[in-house]
Structure 1
Amino acid sequence: MSSTGEQKVVENAWSMPIEPFKKEDMPYSLLCESSFATLFPRYREKYIRECWPLVKNALSEYGIKADLDVIEGSMTVSTTRKTWDPYIILKSRDVIKLIARGVPYEQAIRVLDDNIGCDIIKIGNLVRKRDRFVKRRQRLVGPKGATLKAIELLTNCYVLVQGNTVSALGPYKGLQHVRNIVEDTMKNIHPIYNIKALMIKRELAKDPKLKNENWDRFLPKYVNKNVQRKQPKKKRPKKEYTPFPPPQPESKMDKLLASGEYFLKEEDRKKKKLTEKMEKKAEAEKRRQEKRNKSFIPPEEKPYRKKQT
Structure 2
Amino acid sequence: MKHVKIPQDRIGVLIGEGGETMREIEAAAEVRLDIDSENGSVAVESVGDPVSGLKGPEIVRAIGRGFPPEEALQLLDDDMMQFDVVDIDAAARNKNDMKRKKGRLIGEDGRTRELMEELSGADVVIYGSTLGAIGTPQQVDAVRTAAEMLLDGAPHGTVYSFLEERHNEMKHQGMQYHRYPGGES
TM-score by length of 2: 0.80
Q: Say yes or no: does 1:68 pair with 2:35.
A: yes
Q: Say yes or no: does 1:133 pair with 2:98.
A: yes
1:124 shift after superposition? 0.8
2:87 and 2:15 map into 1 onto residues whose CA distance is 27
Number of aligned positions between the proteins: 171
Check conservation: 2:30, 2:53, Cα contact below 8 A: no
Structure 2 unaligned regions, length at least 5: 174-185
Check conservation: 1:133, 1:186, Cα contact below 8 A: no
Q: Say yes or no: does 1:113 pair with 2:77.
A: yes
2:66 and 2:168 map into 1 onto residues whose CA distance is 34
Higher helix share: 2
Match of 1:47 in 2: 13
1:112 shift after superposition? 1.3
Q: Per the alignment, do residues 174 and 186 of structure 1 end up closer, same or farther by CA in structure 2, a change over 3 Å counting?
A: same
TM-score by length of 1: 0.50
1:141 shift after superposition? 0.8
Higher strand share: 2
- Within a 5 Å distance, the mapping from 1:218-297 to structure 2 comes to none
Q: Per the alignment, do residues 207 and 163 of structure 1 end up closer, same or farther by CA in structure 2, a change over 3 Å counting?
A: closer
For residue 54 of structure 2, the aligned residue among 90, 93, 111 is 90
1:87 shift after superposition? 2.5
Question: Which runs of at least 4 in structure 1 moved beyond 3 Å after TM superposition?
Answer: 200-208
Identity %: 23
Check conservation: 2:14, 2:21, Cα contact below 8 A: no
Higher gyration radius (CA): 1
1:103 and 1:207 map into 2 onto residues whose CA distance is 29
1:67 shift after superposition? 2.1
Match of 2:147 in 1: 182
1:62 shift after superposition? 4.6
Question: Greater relative contact order (Cα 8 A, min sep 6): structure 1 or 2?
Answer: 2
Structure 1 unaligned regions, length at least 5: 1-34, 209-309
* Cα RMSD after superposing both structures: 2.4
What secondary structure, in the 3-state scheme, does the structure 1 residue paired with 2:2 have?
Answer: strand
1:185 and 1:177 map into 2 onto residues whose CA distance is 12
